[in-house]
Structure 1
């Protein structure tokens, strides 16, 4: 057995592929010293979704007794939110927390995990399809098609989301014509077809963009970011 310490990137992929084997040799891992991983989220530091990522990292750090240390940085700390996939794939970051649909621009089919019609499935059923109905295998193929060297573990299914927050009342479809509107995923194409001037922004940039007058309205999962 080689004494060369594996890179953090190799450990990440190896643990995903052979987790049982890794756990089966705790003395070997411990002899190499603590393994540190630097992750980034696609959320600002006070957003509830970033807090989810921090909670996960704390649980892992506590459960491993310090042998594995995950640090989670907020959006923009290393790369912009939409650059997270590339950063993890290239090894600039060891991991990330976000939503798959943020990378719709690289592979449109990623909208299946974010903004597409749910094909009669609610959020929990969609997650079940990913785990047991072939979704995981399809996602791996999509990553391969764009050369992304990552493994994803979707969780936390999100139910139907609000249409958005608007500066003026929306009473008919024509009200979207010329509206500066934020959304992501396949919704970009939908609202562009309705005449909206769509600006695809990560969640961390919505409120600042509205404050600067760059948006008239925005769609987002929930209103927690309003407190930022």
Structure 2
């Protein structure tokens, strides 16, 4: 074979090899492009302007990216399909595939629901409650409540260990328990029972209805969740006293729920993505919260002239005493009792480790920013 023919042979082999590879590529591509995209309709309990809607979107985005686009969540705000407090029923009925909400919004069906978000504080925070849900038996107790006791066609997970929620907004700065007696106060979940036990008259309202109710005099004071949501609602335009620190809702988290039939129909890897995207969103939500909550709190002080104070210790002590009164009669219910006992056993062990081990962050802050803290 001549040198010229050798070159031609090599060139031909290269061409055929390349063509084969190209052919393999063209055969593989249709399989990817034909991969079915599953779309889930999710509605939140939050107005479109609330940062909570952004946090719900963080979850939806992670689901889409982790699934390579095979699973998409069509996220809608409160009221787009059903009312903010009705998302659980809509998921049960199949009107919604999924919802982004909090369990306190359906505590009227069973007060044990509030133990998964707005229950008594046993010395641990929201992150440690999520840890209890994942590793301390909380998921199993939640499933028993939702699926066995209430008979709901729903599965759920938790995400975003919320920072302590402020005691809220007041027309006059409360300095003692006497200052809050008789006030018409907005809250939700077992926090309603707690504040009633402390002498307040409680109204439960969705977030988007709070400021209008304050303007009309329907309520005298309210809490929602955080400085960013409160500022976006325009709380600073109707009242100027903002009390931080409270035991009424100090360990809440988002509840991500799905119609069980719809969830079970998905392939196992897509179910896993929905489950573990909640853990990813937990971190993303917290980062977004720390950035925004701190900036908006400062803006409330500097730009809106809000009087930001720490809730008096006497009121917080009264909250702990009130929790004891609220819990006692509810412990007659077997499931409620078992959930509380499970949380207390977890709190005794985990709280001991955490509190014994934690650095004194307040002392460190005072060291570097002396005089800024006012308590």
Q: Which range, TM-score by smaller chain?
A: 0.7 to 0.9
Render the CA deviation track for 1:172-201: whole Å, top value 9, x for unaligned: 223223211001111111211233221111
Structure 2 stretches lacking a partner, 5+ long:
1-29, 234-375
3-state SS of paired residue (1:151): strand
1:216 Cα offset (Å): 1.0
1:220 Cα offset (Å): 1.9
Quote the Cα distance in structure 2 between the aligned partners of 1:70 and 1:59: 10
Quote the Cα distance in structure 2 between the aligned partners of 1:98 and 1:156: 11
Number of residue pairs the alignment of both structures matches: 202
Structure 1 stretches lacking a partner, 5+ long:
1-26
Classify 1:193/1:91 alpha carbon distance in 2 versus 1 (closer, same or farther; 3 Å). Answer: same
Give the equivalent residue in structure 2 for 1:180: 184
Match of 2:150 among 146, 149, 170: 146
Match of 1:160 among 154, 160, 164: 164
Q: CA RMSD in A?
A: 2.1
Render the CA deviation track for 1:88-127: whole Å, top value 9, x for unaligned: 1111100011111111111101111222113222221111
Question: Which stretch has the larger CA shift, 52-61 or 99-108?
Answer: 52-61
Match of 1:170 among 170, 174, 197: 174
Match of 2:81 among 69, 78, 81: 78
Q: 8 Å contact 2:186–2:222 — kept in the other structure?
A: yes
Q: 8 Å contact 1:174–1:194 — kept in the other structure?
A: no
Give the equivalent residue in structure 2 for 1:190: 194
Give the equivalent residue in structure 1 for 2:224: 220
3-state SS of paired residue (1:208): helix
More helix by share: 2
Give the equivalent residue in structure 1 for 2:367: none
Quote the Cα distance in structure 2 between the aligned partners of 1:56 and 1:190: 32
Stretches of 4+ moved more than 6 A in 1? 27-30
Quote the Cα distance in structure 2 between the aligned partners of 1:29 and 1:99: 37
Question: Which stretch has the larger CA shift, 205-214 or 154-163?
Answer: 205-214
Q: 8 Å contact 1:179–1:217 — kept in the other structure?
A: yes
TM-score by length of 1: 0.81
Quote the Cα distance in structure 2 between the aligned partners of 1:180 and 1:96: 30
Quote the Cα distance in structure 1 between the aligned partners of 2:228 and 2:222: 14
1:33 Cα offset (Å): 3.2
Question: In terms of Rg, which structure is larger?
Answer: 2
Give the equivalent residue in structure 1 for 2:213: 209
3-state SS of paired residue (2:73): strand
3-state SS of paired residue (1:153): strand
Q: 8 Å contact 1:42–1:204 — kept in the other structure?
A: no
Quote the Cα distance in structure 1 between the aligned partners of 2:150 and 2:31: 35
Quote the Cα distance in structure 2 between the aligned partners of 1:71 and 1:154: 19
1:128 Cα offset (Å): 0.8
Q: Larger relative contact order (C-alpha < 8 A, sep ≥ 6)?
A: 2
Q: 8 Å contact 1:42–1:97 — kept in the other structure?
A: yes
Q: 8 Å contact 2:35–2:70 — kept in the other structure?
A: no
Give the equivalent residue in structure 1 for 2:52: 49
Quote the Cα distance in structure 2 between the aligned partners of 1:56 and 1:116: 25
- Answering whether residue 131 of structure 2 is matched by residue 128 of structure 1, we say yes
